Amino acid sequence: MTPPQEQAGISATALSEEPTYQDIPLVDLAAQQREVQGQVDAGLGHIFSHTAFIGGEAVTRFEQDYAQFLSSGHCVGVGNGTDALELALRACGIGAGDEVIIPANTFIATAEAISLTGARPVLADVDPTYLLIDPEAVATAITANTRAIMPVHLYGQTAFVEQLTPLAQSCGAVIIEDAAQAQGATRFGQSAGTLGDIAGTSFYPGKNLGAAGDAGAVLTNDDQLATQVRMLAAHGSRSKYVHERLGRNSRLDAIQAVVLNAKLERLAHWNELRRQAAARYEELLTGVAGVTLPQQAAGNQDIWHLYVVQVEDRDRVVAELNASGIGAGIHYPYPVHLTQAFAHLGYKAGDFPVTEHAAGRILSLPLYPHITREQQLRVVDELMRVVQQ
């Protein structure tokens, strides 16, 4: 009888061969899950035994604890990070005819959330060192229709919100932070997500604080904005069957809250391990020809959601790293204005030169709390080999 593995096209010899190395993923979610598994299992058992699937103790606990972690007045759990940004915008009254300034270097969800309100995303270039929204570019992008500025705390950094605040005040705009990549990052001691009027964040599994599926939250110190977000996320209702505004259904699932509660207890430690890993990469890669290292801005304590270097011939480098088992990635290869989805904005290639130049060079190396020195040594060895070919 043919063995099952050979029926599937896998030889017994191949199964018995030891690999010469273990693949190194871009992010190791399995290691995180092993650390929290017991606590998550107990929490899920409670949810299912009490059938407390919507709202309830787990969600309330997470909202309170995450608000306390960031020193935020309010945390409102919602369905995902894109909803969080859209609900924050709508709570601030942003809609048709309004303009919201965002960096050209961001994930498409930042612009998408604005468009979903009927407002128009207006792009601004980023600075060449940190690839964060450039306050000088923002100043030139302001028009009579500007109603919000949305800095993105990219790669685990905090944007220079204190430089954007007077610009927002000059035109009567609000500051809405996209804090999806900066859970625990600070600027001059203040948490990302608490520097503006309101913020949205994502708990997509790969984030520093990741759920076991989609989840998000809105953060604000403003009582009225928090009330509006909670109402908009519940079909525009503060009490059952009484609907004051056209809202949506966007709730933080109780099951996801169980996972988030377990991981939140470890987030500060995990962020510190990320900082140590980033420092190790800097030690190993400083002076390596052909590799530009990321920098930490004065006043920032970054949490290194991503470790983004820049190299020439990036696509070849990524392909060769991946082929050798290194889970390198790109965040992000296509600037917002060069995507088909936002061609209607009327921007063209060359409009945001810093963003476009970086988009062809940026490369994210594996980095996560449980990465080992040995794994990082292998990543560096492979990167040096490929870059110096």
pLDDT digits (tens, 9 = 90+) for 202-232: 999 999 999 999 999 999 999 999 999 999 9
Burial (CB < 10 A; 0-12, 13-18, 19+), residue 240, is exposed
Mean pLDDT of the chain: 94
Q: What is the pLDDT of residue 51?
A: 94
Give yes or no for residue 335 having a pLDDT over 50.
yes
What is the set of domains in the chain, with CATH numbers?
31-260 (3.40.640.10), 267-387 (3.90.1150.10)
- Is residue 207 part of the annotated active site? The answer reads yes
Of 168, 137, 127, 133, the residue nearest 153 (C-alpha):
133
The 10s digit of each residue's pLDDT in 21-52 is 579 999 999 999 999 999 999 999 999 999 99
* Rounded Cα–Cα distance for residues 376 and 277 (Å): 8
* Rounded Cα–Cα distance for residues 48 and 255 (Å): 9
181-201: average pLDDT: 98
Give yes or no for residue 272 having a pLDDT over 70.
yes
Return the higher-pLDDT residue of 13 and 143. Answer: 143
Q: What is the pLDDT of residue 13?
A: 31
- Decide: 87 and 99 in contact? Cβ < 8 Å: no
The 10s digit of each residue's pLDDT in 341-360 is 999 999 999 999 999 999 99
What residues contact residue 299 under an 8 Å CB cut-off, 6+ apart?
187, 188
DSSP-derived pairing of the beta strands 99-103 and 120-124: parallel
Burial (CB < 10 A; 0-12, 13-18, 19+), residue 75, is buried
Handedness of CA 355, 360, 365, 368 (dihedral sign): positive
Q: What is the pLDDT of residue 389?
A: 85
Q: What is the pLDDT of residue 1?
A: 35
264-277: average pLDDT: 98
* Rounded Cα–Cα distance for residues 193 and 16 (Å): 50
Give yes or no for residue 18 having a pLDDT over 60.
no
Confidence of residue 277 (pLDDT cuts 50, 70, 90): very high
Give yes or no for residue 3 having a pLDDT over 60.
no
DSSP-derived pairing of the beta strands 237-239 and 242-243: antiparallel
Give yes or no for residue 6 having a pLDDT over 90.
no
* Rounded Cα–Cα distance for residues 49 and 207 (Å): 29
Confidence of residue 371 (pLDDT cuts 50, 70, 90): very high
Q: Any alpha helices (H) in the chain, and if so which ranges?
A: 4-7, 12-16, 29-50, 57-70, 81-91, 108-116, 135-141, 161-171, 223-232, 254-285, 314-323, 353-359, 373-387
Q: What is the pLDDT of residue 17?
A: 38
Query: What percentage of residues in the chain have a pLDDT greater than 70?
Result: 95
Q: Out of 207, 240, 263, 348, pick the active-site residue.
A: 207
Cα separation values, 60 from 91, 115, 153, 177, Å? 21, 30, 26, 23
- Decide: 75 and 87 in contact? Cβ < 8 Å: no
Q: What is the pLDDT of residue 4?
A: 32
Peptide bond into 332 cis (omega under 30): yes
230-253: average pLDDT: 94
What is the value of pTM for the model shown? 0.93
44-65: average pLDDT: 96
Cα separation values, 376 from 192, 303, 308, 365, Å? 28, 18, 14, 9
Give yes or no for residue 11 having a pLDDT over 60.
no
